[in-house]
Structure 1
């Protein structure tokens, strides 16, 4: 029941951060249709939307110093994409409920405790590393704001159109503190509702293929054991039934892959744009600015690291799905059909089933962004190199 526990825990945390009830079992977590919860959700998203709108206004028409203007551009682009990702998940709530039910059910009877423990450990490492990088970046923005206060300026983390740079009133400082709190809450919603949830589903789906591969390997061992006992008829029947069950599970997994793309494809596509676009802007700040402080440099480095870490986790886990699925054909081929002579009726029948299963397994699922860009290791390297190339081009232009 490890998958059940993981997904239910995620849904409970998603409910607590105000994004609604994504769990498919009624009455297990909470009711997101009651008036007080709807008001809570509305207040949160009004705060997120207002902050993002003010950031966009600051980037377009605000009058700020160079460092704050750069921060306003970076934050406005990043937070606008974050809002798109959150709403993309919320709009697919019913689809995600069904996806989770199917994710738990497929291959459930053949999941091994050791494999589930490994999956849980990998999932925790990925999410903790990403969360630490995101909040490390946010903490650096806060420290930079406190440094400005120490030097006689005002505290600022999120640069918004109001308050203006010259406004040091009590109300202006309260607004700056409130936007900082809103930023931290928004980051929590982003990590739990969108990024962490997407990552967990990708890792879980990857381990479904590993489970299925182990299923065929165990089937071969069981068939060989029965053959050694001298009961070839029983072994052939066991292999035939096992192959049919495995083919059905494989078919369900392929369908599940399409559902994952429908539910989280927009999230991964948006992250592709955010990581490449924002990274160029952030790297240029480090390269061009001459009076950048250590903390200011650190906040940019953490920000870039968080963007590329998340993109890497998305693309590498998606690429790992394709890789693990591609290994399935070998496991099917060596399932034990060769133990039965071809001239026997059952031997011929088993060869046909194995041939069909191998052909199906030789077309592994490939996650795609925008229905055309493959989400693989190669794509991640391509994005990193492309981002650096664009940065180098802009930097060379600045130097002229």
Structure 2
């Protein structure tokens, strides 16, 4: 029996795996996204070499290592600030939690994707090349590409808008009040220190936060492309099984039509099996990302609610909190909603199988097809879910549950 790698067109050499494929629109989508990922974090997640100048590649790799070290320093500074900063009021403690644990979780997610880059390459290759080569619907493929770019751009704009607006608001507060310009509470300097060195250090911490945004955002692009690709893969398979009815409209003999239908149905089962493998691999490669996103947003929402409870409710104080809440809920929703769409589209598949035209078969062909159909429908009825922590299904319902959980924890903490 052939291994999975040989069946999907992967050859392994002494140094690396070589992927054989022909370019299509989905491959072009993944190529462009992986080029953005490479420029953002210096890691090539594309199953092919990026057609970038050698100097650009070399510079990106060096710069990425330097940026990675700076980001690590920022994470350490934000994480140990609770031990070095004393006499913090409740609002500043909430701000400390707003950046400390989320920075650790997001960088763990980014590191996990880098460590699993070969698995991500194989997964994206299977979605973009193998499955699309088996069957595709041009209209759905175009819609998939538009949705991927639309949500990716929206996600990038949200994070960049948050970074800029937070800087503007904190700068305005620092220039009009006695507060210092402190977006991220650092291990050093003390919040009340007003020397030039301390001010530069706070600005550097703020700028390093953008490096985190850039690196995490770029990795999120490939995760989003994979999720949306799987969502539309189930839609494409539904179209495939519905199209099998047309086999019996041809001019061949009925026996020949039955044979063609049986072979086509088996081919559809193989396609479904490979898609389920992609779901499992998505859970393995991106599970840390989904878990990190959940942790980040629960902690962020709790911290923001605590800040809102203790601040003086002026427009300048409330604006950054509202921006953070809006970006947090929207960014999380982009991933959880699309993961939920994968589950929703998968529920349509068993119905498409049932309406594929099996009733046109007769005799022994009918017996064989009904057996295949029963097994295939039974497998298609199993819920297809993407989970965080291996247990939390990502869906519309779990999105609401996450928000309720954050508010419940905040309510308990505020009563103490």
* CA distance 1:243–1:20, change in 2 (3 Å): same
Residue 351 of structure 1 pairs with residue 370 of structure 2 = yes
- 1:299 deviates by 1.4
The equivalent position to 1:85 in structure 2, one of 109, 122, 146, is 109
* CA distance 1:321–1:32, change in 2 (3 Å): farther
SS of corresponding position for 1:276: helix
Residue 373 of structure 1 pairs with residue 392 of structure 2 = yes
Q: Provide the C-alpha distance between the structure 2 equivalents of 1:386 and 1:233, rounded to a whole number of angstroms.
A: 59
The equivalent position to 1:58 in structure 2, one of 62, 68, 81, is 81
The equivalent position to 2:122 in structure 1, one of 77, 85, 98, is 98
In structure 1, what is the equivalent of residue 12 of structure 2? none
Residue 279 of structure 1 pairs with residue 273 of structure 2 = no
- 1:55 deviates by 1.4
- 1:286 deviates by 0.8
Residue 248 of structure 1 pairs with residue 270 of structure 2 = yes
In structure 1, what is the equivalent of residue 4 of structure 2? none
In structure 2, what is the equivalent of residue 326 of structure 1? 347
* CA distance 1:32–1:214, change in 2 (3 Å): farther
- 1:24 deviates by 1.6
Stretch of structure 1 that moved more, 31-40 or 205-214: 31-40
SS of corresponding position for 1:17: helix
SS of corresponding position for 2:182: coil
Contact 1:367/1:375 (<8 A) preserved = yes
The two structures, once aligned, show a CA RMSD in angstroms of 2.3
In structure 2, what is the equivalent of residue 294 of structure 1? 315
In structure 1, what is the equivalent of residue 40 of structure 2? 17
- 1:126 deviates by 2.1
- 1:30 deviates by 7.0
Q: Provide the C-alpha distance between the structure 2 equivalents of 1:215 and 1:87, rounded to a whole number of angstroms.
A: 38
Stretch of structure 1 that moved more, 22-31 or 68-77: 22-31
Contact 1:107/1:212 (<8 A) preserved = no
Q: Provide the C-alpha distance between the structure 2 equivalents of 1:152 and 1:362, rounded to a whole number of angstroms.
A: 61
- 1:315 deviates by 2.1
In structure 2, what is the equivalent of residue 265 of structure 1? 287
Q: Provide the C-alpha distance between the structure 1 equivalents of 2:314 and 2:54, rounded to a whole number of angstroms.
A: 48
In structure 2, what is the equivalent of residue 219 of structure 1? 244
Contact 1:213/1:331 (<8 A) preserved = yes
In structure 1, what is the equivalent of residue 218 of structure 2? 192
- 1:28 deviates by 3.7
Output one character per residue of 1:313-341: Cα deviation in whole Å (capped at 9) or x when no partner.
22222222122112111111111111123
Aligned length: 390
Unaligned runs of 5+ in 2: 1-23
Q: Provide the C-alpha distance between the structure 1 equivalents of 2:227 and 2:308, rounded to a whole number of angstroms.
A: 34
Residue 158 of structure 1 pairs with residue 177 of structure 2 = no
Q: Provide the C-alpha distance between the structure 1 equivalents of 2:58 and 2:39, rounded to a whole number of angstroms.
A: 15
Q: Provide the C-alpha distance between the structure 1 equivalents of 2:255 and 2:55, rounded to a whole number of angstroms.
A: 56
- 1:207 deviates by 0.6
The equivalent position to 2:235 in structure 1, one of 210, 222, 225, is 210
Stretch of structure 1 that moved more, 5-14 or 170-179: 170-179
Q: Provide the C-alpha distance between the structure 2 equivalents of 1:363 and 1:59, rounded to a whole number of angstroms.
A: 47
Q: Provide the C-alpha distance between the structure 2 equivalents of 1:64 and 1:134, rounded to a whole number of angstroms.
A: 31
Unaligned runs of 5+ in 1: none
In structure 2, what is the equivalent of residue 8 of structure 1? 31
* CA distance 1:121–1:27, change in 2 (3 Å): closer
Q: TM-score, normalised by structure 2?
A: 0.87
